[in-house]
Amino acid sequence: MLALAALGIVFGDLGTSPLYTLQECFAGPHGANPNARGDLLGVVSLVVWSLMVVVTLKYLVFLMRIDNRGEGGILALLALVPRTGEKKVPPKKALLAVVLGVVGAALLFGDGVITPAVSVLSAIEGLGVATKAFDPYVVPLTVVILLALFAVQSRGTERLGRYFGPIMLAWFAVTFALGARALAADPSVLVALSPVPAVRFFATHGLGGIRVLGGVVLAVTGGEALYADMGHFGRPPIQRAWVFVCLPALIVSYLGQAAFVLSHPEAAARPFFSMCPKGPWLYAIVVLAAAATVIASQALISGVFSLTSQAIQLGLFPRLTVKHTSASAEGQIYVPAMNTFLAISCVAIVVAFRESSKLAAAFGLAVSGTMAITSILYFLVVRETGRVRPWLAWLLLVGFLAFDVPFVVANSLKIVDGGWLPLALGSVFTLVMLSWRRGRGFLADYFADHHVPLEDILGDLESGKLRRAPGVGVFFAARASGAPLPLVRVARSFGVVYETNVLVTVSLEPVSHVTDAERAEVETVAPGVIRVVLRFGFMESPRVVPHLSKALDDVSVVSPAHERVYLLGRETITPSDAGRMGRLEEELFAFLSRNAKSPTDWFELPAKQVVEVGAQVDL
């Protein structure tokens, strides 16, 4: 059942690639010649071996074994780069890993915007094969379908997977049947299962043949989303669904399209729908294709949700509302703000480009760039952590990049034709993530500069300069040392502290989940002063109240949750030319800070028990 649900959520993008991959390989003045048998077989051979090497070998065999406590994706991979302990990587390598991870994640965000638009649009365009009367309705119908898709995201991937899985199973069965039907008419194309036609293609066309890879990469576009969605279902169900259902159906479909185009070269413009039987069957297949492409979009949407949550917890993205949609699976989440952004962006792109062929160039560059960066991060993780021998790590890197780099080069040639779109989207997300990370770093420096030793507060207590007020005060501290700034400000301004003062530091760890044994660290610093460190993984919600209650119970502190007062620092960023960050970047950071989710909501604190202690900060 998990494999069936994974079929509906994870494999939609890969499963619907036969709708547009081959037609893009033959499109334009630099496409392959569908009238030349060598070109046709060479292209199909490239597609088949890309599926085998990039998806099967790279992602399912190697990358999915490198998980962060069950979570996958480029940021989960980044979190595995060792920054402490004996295997700590040098600072320059660590910075390189962060920049690569941020850029790769930014491109994947862009991919999440483009994929739903190009997938649904390509399916609805199939109506044009049946009759030109539907042409004026292609864009409006695509917009309606996309809006409906984003409207149901709040229901969660588990519930959606129950419906999507059987639909995708039917889709793979139809693609297999159509491919087998066309393949039976000309079994000679089975020679494309060998890499020889691919080698001959480049021997004939030389370096000029690399342009066709801009279309071939569309066959493997869902690989990165597959890895990012691993936390939703786990590795074994995804592997089973791929090996027993997806891969056979895709290979037979591409071979069938090649066989059909050999006898009908004019069908190269839309090979998939052209080989469908005409009449009612064609309309039924278009409806099924539309449903499948909606599901294809789900893989990237779910991936963007996971990526956003990981980025927030790793300190790379402003805090947003993250809702958990499953009581049993922590990784199944819904991010309302990102859902709204994706919906608006997808509709705008469909209205602006209006044709899937114009979006294909944009599609490929985002995917190929992310895949190349993932290969490099994988190398850094396995090389620095000693998971594989150094020679094998280098061999895998060279093997992966042998596919990734040509894909990037081929799609870079399409920047003017639409490849600028993922670069623009990626640049925006990269700027946001790097500015947020730098801003948080400067803010940490501000706290360090205003550090007050806890001994000073304890000394004032012993000398009688400070008096105790009844109750329990929970002071949040950025670091598990010194006195929290809210405590210092209250003590210095009012000359009072609470009878019981709990100093809480929330630590976000570079792992997906933290075990109960690792969750809390409690230390009694002095009579009435307790320090608590609460640890959370990057796929967990930092629910402070229940975990704090348990930690205080363990040290026999009687502290009813409804009687505590939670004191938080509230910094207002005031940009100026005097700060180290630079006025423009600080303006951006200030804007992000104002619009981020408040600490009260993020830590799920009872609002009526919260007191915020403010300060103006120029970074």
Lookup: tokens for 295: 């599901």
pLDDT top residue among 223 and 248:
248
pLDDT for the residue 305: 84
Residue 575, classed as helix, strand or coil, is: coil
**pLDDT at 6 exceeding the cut of 60:** yes
Nearest CA to 103 among 464, 417, 376, 457?
376
pLDDT tens digits for range 103-130? 888 888 887 888 888 878 877 877 766 6
Helix (H) or strand (E) holding 49: helix 37-50
pLDDT tens digits for range 349-379? 889 888 877 777 677 788 888 899 999 999 9
Beta bridge partners of 336: none
pLDDT for the residue 423: 84
**Residue-wise DSSP of 519-566:** HEEEEEEETTEEEEEEEE-TTS---HHHHHHHHHHHTT----GGG-EE
Q: Are 363 and 216 in contact (CB under 8 A)?
A: no
**What percent of the chain stands above pLDDT 90?**
19
- The number of beta carbons lying within 10 Å of the beta carbon of residue 494 is 11
**pLDDT at 296 exceeding the cut of 80:** no
pLDDT for the residue 50: 93
Per-residue pLDDT band for 566 (boundaries 50, 70, 90) equals very high
Helix (H) or strand (E) holding 471: strand 467-476
Per-residue pLDDT band for 160 (boundaries 50, 70, 90) equals low
pLDDT tens digits for range 174-211? 999 999 999 999 899 999 999 999 999 988 888 778 88
Chain centroid to CA 173: 29
- Beta pairing, strands 333-334 & 323-324: antiparallel
pLDDT top residue among 47 and 465:
47
Please give the average per-residue pLDDT across 478-501, as a whole number. Answer: 86
pLDDT for the residue 92: 79
pLDDT for the residue 85: 54
**pLDDT at 617 exceeding the cut of 70:** yes
pLDDT for the residue 331: 56
Q: Are 123 and 289 in contact (CB under 8 A)?
A: yes
SS3 content of the chain, % helix, strand, coil (to 5): 70, 10, 20
**pLDDT at 601 exceeding the cut of 60:** yes
Q: What is the set of domains in the chain, with CATH numbers?
A: 2-438 (1.20.1740.10), 449-617 (no CATH)
**Residue-wise DSSP of 67-86:** -BTTB-SHHHHHHTS--SST
CA distances from 569 to 102, 186, 480, 586 (A): 28, 72, 15, 19
**Residue-wise DSSP of 507-519:** EE-SSS---HHHH
pLDDT for the residue 104: 86
pLDDT for the residue 192: 92
Chain centroid to CA 518: 27
Nearest CA to 178 among 51, 37, 291, 282?
282
**pLDDT at 457 exceeding the cut of 80:** yes
Beta bridge partners of 457: none
pLDDT for the residue 353: 84
Please give the average per-residue pLDDT across 433-461, as a whole number. Answer: 85
State the Cα–Cα distance between residues 543 and 429, nearest whole angstrom: 27
pLDDT for the residue 197: 93
Q: What angle do CA 252, 9, 319 make, to 5 degrees?
A: 140
Three-state helix/strand/coil letters over 264-310? CHHHHHCHHHHCCCCCHHHHHHHHHHHHHHHHHHHHHHHHHHHHHHH
pLDDT for the residue 485: 86
φ, ψ at 502 (rounded to 5°)? -105, 120
**What percent of the chain stands above pLDDT 70?**
94
- Beta pairing, strands 333-334 & 529-536: unpaired
pLDDT for the residue 78: 83
Among the residue ranges 78-82, 314-318, 405-409, 504-508, the one predicted with the least confidence is: 78-82
Output b/e per residue, 462-492; b: 16+ Cβ within 10 A.
Answer: eeeebeeeeebbbbbbbeeebbbbbbbbbbe
Both ends of the chain: CA-CA distance in Å?
52
State the Cα–Cα distance between residues 232 and 234, nearest whole angstrom: 6
| Average pLDDT in the chain | 84
State the Cα–Cα distance between residues 472 and 469, nearest whole angstrom: 9
pLDDT for the residue 194: 93
